[in-house]
Amino acid sequence: MTEKTTIFIEGMSCDHCKMTLEKGIGGLKGVFSVKVNLDQNQAEVQFDPDEISLTDIKKKIVDLGYKV
């Protein structure tokens, strides 16, 4: 079973930010896809809630230096 959610992220300003977030979140076990939209300051994440929680995904974003 997969879940899709949109997470609003503060602090993104360039393609490097987008790449950092997509690689960082996408590397988490249980995450299937990540699409970061700089213009809307958000990321659409598809994940398996049995393998990873939304809280853990948000923690990774904060660990990468952004605010949720």
As to burial, measured by CB atoms within 10 angstroms (0-12 exposed, 13-18 middle, 19+ buried), residue 9 is buried
Contact 57, 49 (CB under 8 A): no
Domain boundaries, the chain: 3-63
| Distance between CA atoms of residues 12 and 49, nearest Å | 26
Does 3.40.50.920 match the CATH number of domain 3-63? no
Question: In the block, which residue shows the tokens 């790449």?
Answer: 19
Write out the H or E segment, with its range, that includes residue 5. Answer: strand 3-8
Encode pLDDT of 9-62 as tens digits.
Answer: 999 999 999 999 999 999 999 999 999 999 999 999 999 999 999 999 999 999
Count Cβ atoms within 10 A of the Cβ of residue 66 and give its class: 0-12 exposed, 13-18 middle, 19 or more buried: buried
